[in-house]
A and B are shown apart, each in its own frame.
Chain A
Amino acid sequence: MAAVAPQAFEALTQPATVPRRSMRAGRRRRLNIFRYLVFTLFGLFFLLPLAAMVRFSLEGTKAGSWSVAAWTQIVSYPNLLGAIEITLELAVLTCAVIGVLVVPTLIWIRLRVRWISRAVEFLCLLPLTIPAIVLVVGLAPIYNRIRAHISLSALQLFWAYAILALPYAYRALIAGLDAIDTKTLSEAARSLGAGWFTVIWRVVVPNMWPAILNAMILTSALVLGEFTVALLLLYTNLQTSLYYISRETANAGVLFSTSAAALLFAFVLLMILSLAGRRRGHR
């Protein structure tokens, strides 16, 4: 699981600006052979385990038979549905934090207090150097101390999740801010009489909504896949519940069906991201 590469997602959203000049026929042919070979080999390597998982999830009680029991079980298996629900809610909450807290702050800094940008950048990228596992070590005492007095539902995880998502969201949002000329826009708006609040919400935000969408999708994806913090703080989310199930019944079909579903969902999210990115590139 990767905890360290927000710039990786830029590769997804920034359309490549390399102009394609044609080459000599011979070389093109050789290159294409190479490419198709590579894609086939790697494609197989990546798809086989996933295919196996899907096949497994469609396995009936007798080896070789088919059944969708594993898939329907997703709904009926104890605690699983609840865990999924919690994870989705967490995703929403975390996105909300990003939207309400991070977005305005970044815009404000860009507009008014540029000199803090460096420090903020450092802060936002700090979670990269601090792996989730380490963060948990520090978070555990805090959570424990609070829990001694009041019980905290799993939803309280969103505080930590927003921190984890910070580097990715930061990268996406900054890219969006860089793409628009905030200075000119805000000056124009102000000269027309807008207050700062209006400038942020009515002028800047609408212009960077692809970047905000980016950040949201990345954050959601992160929350869906998060395991470490939830586990060690003894909470139940999608991934941890899968984990617990696997500890009890190692080959429960529902493990595979849910995993496959989660992966598929994430893949769709990212495809949406890359398509939205393409539109942005043409602007």
Chain B
Amino acid sequence: MTSPVTEAHSAQSRAGVEVRLQGLRRQYGQVVALDGLDLTIGPGELVALLGPSGCGKTTTLRLLAGLEDADNGTITVGGKDITHQSASKRDMGMVFQAYSLFPHMTVRENVAFGLRLRRISRAERDRRALEMLELVGLSTQAGRYAHQISGGQQQRVALARALAIQPQVLLLDEPLSALDAKVRAQLRDQIRRIQLEVGITTLFVTHDQEEALAIADRVGVMQDGRIEQLGPPTAIYSRPATAFVAEFVGLTNRLVGTVSGSSVTVRGRDLPLVDLSTPPGPVTALVRPEAVTLASDSSGGSGPLTGTVIAITFLGATSRVTVDLGDTTILAQLATSDATALSAGSRVTLTIRPDPVLVSGAPAVTEE
């Protein structure tokens, strides 16, 4: 009986291909879903496409899978141009958001289905199916039907089914969106673990930024059919390239500031800029709540960074504090232990950590 590790080794000789998407364009009537998208996924890499509904991430995935045709552009897998190849000939495994298990087959039959289509013998099929089920930890459920297992288990079966055919590429279309929060977290770690073990090139589509940041090697943030930024999760988070990325990923404070030289002055503080070529003048600076720290102010001062606490939102390990600065509101995120001393109405002084800051355009009149 081969163990999952051996399976991973043999899979590695097949997996680990490079996926290259070039100039992909797709239009539905008047709506342009994809506008010349370029993306290269390295061998064995997990790239997550992140964005709001309608940004084109699912379209990209479906084009790669062959379920739809691109109007323009090419798709190359492992050096071979597969742009015009039909979906059933492409060697890819796909996990859908929901409902993809065949209800009239048992779990084992579902997983073995791809092998059955390839005319692999019954005995060999069952063996491989059970192996896959062990990989996802569901070998005990082999004889059950889809409606008898939970949503999370169904998705694990779907994953086993996709991997059973030993595809070159793994595609995941928002596989966790339909599940409960707790299950989502567990399952996403499991998916990542399996993906690393098997070493398969993977494209993962989601609208949940936490998911994308947690498991991807690189994240592509998309909007309106284009990739706004592509890079490792840390870069996406701390060095957002555009205002959209900054606001979509994590929370942001929008503060009025003035650019001069290589820094922007925000409420009396000088903060370094991400983009050093920003022209001088008034801008909106995007500051992360974690960069804002608070201290109780008993001095009764009234500088630009003193204010009154309006609300404290308890989030478990951290807490979010909303502070009224008189002309605007600011969010600060602290460890809960630091926030216990505060209550609504306390006067506080703020400090902004000098992380590089992104700015965007001219400031609006009164910022929220």
Q: Which of A1-41 contact B (CB under 8 A)?
A: 21-26
Q: Which residue of A lies closest to B59 (CB)?
A: A22
Note all chain B residues with C-beta closer than 8 A to A26.
86
Please report the C-alpha to C-alpha distance between residue A21 and residue B173 in the assembled complex, in whole angstroms.
Answer: 14
Kindly supply a per-residue 1/0 record for chain B positions 63-84, scoring 1 wherever the CB is within 8 Å of any chain A CB and 0 otherwise. 0001111000000000000000
Number of interface residues of A (CB under 8 A): 6
B: which residues have CB within 8 A of A? 28, 66-69, 86-87
Q: Which residue of A lies closest to B68 (CB)?
A: A22
Note all chain A residues with C-beta closer than 8 A to B28.
22
A: which residues have CB within 8 A of B? 21-26
Note all chain B residues with C-beta closer than 8 A to A21.
67
Note all chain A residues with C-beta closer than 8 A to B86.
24, 26
Q: Which of B28, B67, B69 has the most CB of A within 10 A?
A: B69
Note all chain A residues with C-beta closer than 8 A to B87.
24
Note all chain B residues with C-beta closer than 8 A to A23.
67-68
Sampled A-B contacts (9; CB under 8 Å): A21-B67, A22-B28, A24-B66, A24-B67, A24-B68, A24-B69, A24-B87, A25-B69, A26-B86
Note all chain A residues with C-beta closer than 8 A to B69.
24-25
Note all chain B residues with C-beta closer than 8 A to A25.
69
A186 to chain B, nearest CB (A): 32
Note all chain A residues with C-beta closer than 8 A to B68.
22-24
Please report the C-alpha to C-alpha distance between residue A26 and residue B67 in the assembled complex, in whole angstroms.
Answer: 11
Please report the C-alpha to C-alpha distance between residue A26 and residue B85 in the assembled complex, in whole angstroms.
Answer: 12
A86 to chain B, nearest CB (A): 51
Counting from the closest, the 9 A-B pairs by CB-CB distance are A25-B69, A24-B69, A22-B68, A24-B68, A22-B28, A24-B86, A24-B87, A23-B68, A24-B67
Please report the C-alpha to C-alpha distance between residue A75 and residue B148 in the assembled complex, in whole angstroms.
Answer: 64
Please report the C-alpha to C-alpha distance between residue A23 and residue B67 in the assembled complex, in whole angstroms.
Answer: 6
Please report the C-alpha to C-alpha distance between residue A21 and residue B68 in the assembled complex, in whole angstroms.
Answer: 9
Please report the C-alpha to C-alpha distance between residue A22 and residue B68 in the assembled complex, in whole angstroms.
Answer: 7
Q: Which residue of B lies closest to A24 (CB)?
A: B69
Please report the C-alpha to C-alpha distance between residue A25 and residue B69 in the assembled complex, in whole angstroms.
Answer: 7
Q: Which residue of A lies closest to B33 (CB)?
A: A22
Q: Which of B28, B66, B68 has the most CB of A within 10 A?
A: B68
Please report the C-alpha to C-alpha distance between residue A23 and residue B68 in the assembled complex, in whole angstroms.
Answer: 5
Q: Which residue of A lies closest to B58 (CB)?
A: A21
Task: Name 10 extra pairs, CB < 8 A, besides A23-B68, A24-B68.
Answer: A21-B67, A22-B28, A22-B68, A23-B67, A24-B66, A24-B67, A24-B86, A24-B87, A25-B69, A26-B86
Q: Which of A24, A25, A26 has the most CB of B within 10 A?
A: A24
A124 to chain B, nearest CB (A): 29
Q: Which residue of A lies closest to B26 (CB)?
A: A22
Q: Which residue of A lies closest to B86 (CB)?
A: A24
A2 to chain B, nearest CB (A): 29
A128 to chain B, nearest CB (A): 28
Please report the C-alpha to C-alpha distance between residue A25 and residue B87 in the assembled complex, in whole angstroms.
Answer: 12
B34 to chain A, nearest CB (A): 13
Please report the C-alpha to C-alpha distance between residue A283 and residue B255 in the assembled complex, in whole angstroms.
Answer: 41
Please report the C-alpha to C-alpha distance between residue A26 and residue B68 in the assembled complex, in whole angstroms.
Answer: 10
Please report the C-alpha to C-alpha distance between residue A23 and residue B28 in the assembled complex, in whole angstroms.
Answer: 12
B82 to chain A, nearest CB (A): 13
Note all chain A residues with C-beta closer than 8 A to B66.
24
B291 to chain A, nearest CB (A): 42
B284 to chain A, nearest CB (A): 38
Q: Which residue of B lies closest to A28 (CB)?
A: B69
Please report the C-alpha to C-alpha distance between residue A25 and residue B28 in the assembled complex, in whole angstroms.
Answer: 12
A25 to chain B, nearest CB (A): 5
